[in-house]
Amino acid sequence: MMCASSFLPQILLLLSSLVGSTFAFQTLHGAALVTKATPWLPQYTTTVLHASEASAEDVDIEAFLEERYPAFMMILRRNEKACKILRESTSVGFTVFAPTDASFQELGETKCAQLTDPRNTETAEKIGAYHVIAEPVSATALFNAGGIITMGGEVPIDRSTSGGFFGAFGGKEDGGVTVNGAKVLQTIELGNNGIVHETDGLISPNLLWRYMDQLRIPGSK
């Protein structure tokens, strides 16, 4: 017997045809990309780098991330399941959203301390989970999507804009994308099935910060 979730894409497509909605679902290896059904697609302009011609299974992704995104790796290493996916990606591949070190500095001292506090291990693990997908999602697929499902859950994707009032109202699409508000600065392809999208911030829901410092360890302040 097929579960109800297997019929979700078909149900949504049927509903969109009835109410004239402007979205559709495209399923890639079980992870739903919400694809915008527009009559034309602007060109994706974010830089794509080819860091390696080897397959993902031949690339030491943890070493690569440790070298380029050490602050992010401090968080990701707290989620053993996410790290295991990267180590055992084999022929399937992976996608990582890697915030820059500068973006962690912008978080401020308090939030950075919370991310490494033992009391917040569970929340930090959840934040890390939102930055990994157990399959490759290319820059083009990301650009044409309205949302994506990560290990942690679904996050929205929008076209980035520039100009306008305070850089928001009246701005024009600049060919880039934002993932839950964090802009993709560049995409690094590791072979043909490993992808790292460098971002200018965390893509996990801001709501998770509310759960910081909830666990009190005896003797701690």
Give me the pLDDT at residue 154, please.
95
Domain residues for the domain of 119 are 40-211
Contacts of 72 (CB under 8 A, 6+ apart): 65, 98, 99, 100, 101, 104, 131
| Within-domain flag for 165 | yes
| Within-domain flag for 134 | yes
| Within-domain flag for 11 | no
Q: Global pTM?
A: 0.73
| Within-domain flag for 33 | no
Residue 159: CB atoms within 10 Å: 18
H-helix segments, the chain:
8-19, 61-68, 70-76, 80-87, 101-107, 109-116, 121-129, 139-143
| Within-domain flag for 114 | yes
Distance CA 69, CA 63 (A): 10
**Amino acid symbol at 204:** S
| Cβ contact 98:68 at 8 Å | yes
| Within-domain flag for 220 | no
Element (H, E) at 217: none
Give me the pLDDT at residue 67, please.
94
Give me the pLDDT at residue 50, please.
55
Give me the pLDDT at residue 44, please.
46
In CATH, what number is assigned to the domain containing residue 207? 2.30.180.10
| Within-domain flag for 94 | yes
Residue 97: half-sphere exposure toward Cβ, Cα within 13 Å: 32
Per-residue model confidence as pLDDT tens for the chain (221 residues): 444 444 444 433 443 443 333 333 333 333 445 444 333 334 444 556 555 444 455 668 899 999 999 999 999 999 999 999 888 876 788 999 999 999 999 999 999 999 999 999 999 999 999 999 999 999 999 988 889 999 999 999 998 877 665 555 566 776 789 999 999 999 999 877 889 999 999 999 999 999 997 755 545 55
Q: How many separate domains does the chain show?
A: 1
| Within-domain flag for 31 | no
